[in-house]
Amino acid sequence: MSFKRRRFLIIGGLTGLGLAVFGKQVLRPGQSTTATTPEVPPLQVATPTGQPLLRFAAIADTGSGDRNQFAVGKAMVQHRDRNPYDLVVLAGDNIYNSGEMSRIQVAFEEPYQKLLQAGVKFRACLGNHDIRTENGDPQVRYTGFNMQGRFYSYKAEAAQFFVLDTNGNADWKGQMAWLEQELSQSQALWKVVYGHHPIYSSGHYGTDSGFVKLFTPLFKKYRVQLYINGHEHDYERSQPIDGTTYLVTGIGGATLRPVGKSSWTAASTSRFGFSAIELYRDRLFIQGIGTDNTVFDQGMVPV
């Protein structure tokens, strides 16, 4: 790989920090550009029936250790009582403010104590705050986050999950080669990718044009149906874009930020909560659930 290409990959990861380089444009909430806001048709939503193949929850920007995070954790327990699940996607910034493991109890073990005691498995990736302490290595080693490296994949029922390190100092050359190989070999009905930083977003940081160019051709080629991220402290669900739905779920406890809408936005809001996701044979069902246990958004993704 040429030096120029390596430089693009590294800087592409930095765009999540709000840097305007290599043609990236940071968008204000609701702002868009022709290159990053493809027109998509509205998706009709119908509540699915029958038992799902898999249920899981997704949260990000969680590790505040304050009452908001505890309220989200309580809502997740109450939802699980009605709709059992055993997996939580933890999409980065797991410990505020600097990923220090001295806060692991208040930022993770206490807010999700009942879930952990029930055997629910959290699968984490690293956020930009997490790498402030020893580059995130202590979190990679922490058994409660079930990480198999800085990027890794795992299977659950009919789904395969591909977990990314989207930070600027990631091993971009190795990671992108790994991702394409893993996607090309996957026979899973559902392919879900997650990392901390957004690809499409109407929030504070906006759509990342570098990541759009880097990831979306692979997602389209290998039929990735869902990408999950945080970093934006809001909730936003896109319409399917070339077959992929983009879900921002950075509402797990950190201070909220405003979010706008783009032409491809199906729903967006700023309120604490989490995403509940069900996989069926022919569709994927997403719900946004608040700390008051109300469903504030729901949408369907075709297989």
**pLDDT tens-digit map of 84-117:** 999 999 999 999 999 999 999 999 999 999 999 9
d(CA 252, CA 129): 15
Q: How is the chain split into domains, by residue range?
A: 3-17+54-302
Kind plus residue range of the DSSP H or E element containing 162? strand 159-163
CA distance 271 to 248: 12
Q: What phi and psi, each to the nearest 5 degrees, are found at residue 296?
A: -95, -10
Minimal CA–CA distance to 73: which of 105, 113, 101, 102? 113
pTM here is 0.86
**Contacting residues for 44 by C-beta, under 8 A, at least 6 apart:** 300
Q: Name the DSSP class of 255.
A: P
Closest C-alpha among 261, 296, 301, 303 to residue 275: 296
3-17+54-302 classified as CATH 3.60.21.10 = yes
**Secondary structure of residue 183 in the 3-state scheme:** helix
Residues in the chain: 303
Structure tokens at 6: 């390596």
Spatial separation of the C-alpha atoms in residues 124 and 228, rounded to whole Å: 12
The CB-based long-range contact list for 219-223 (8 Å cut-off, 24+ gap) reads: 219/193, 219/243, 219/244, 220/244, 221/183, 222/180, 222/183, 222/184, 222/186, 222/191, 223/191
Judged by DSSP in three states, 238 sits in: strand
Q: What is the pLDDT of residues 183-235, one digit of tens each?
A: 999 999 999 999 999 999 999 999 999 999 999 999 999 999 999 999 999 99
The stretch 61-88 carries a mean pLDDT of: 98
Asked if pLDDT for residue 30 goes beyond 80, the answer is no
Q: What is the pLDDT of residue 45?
A: 54
Backbone φ and ψ for 245, nearest 5 degrees, come out as -95, 135
Q: Which residue has the higher pLDDT, 199 or 32?
A: 199
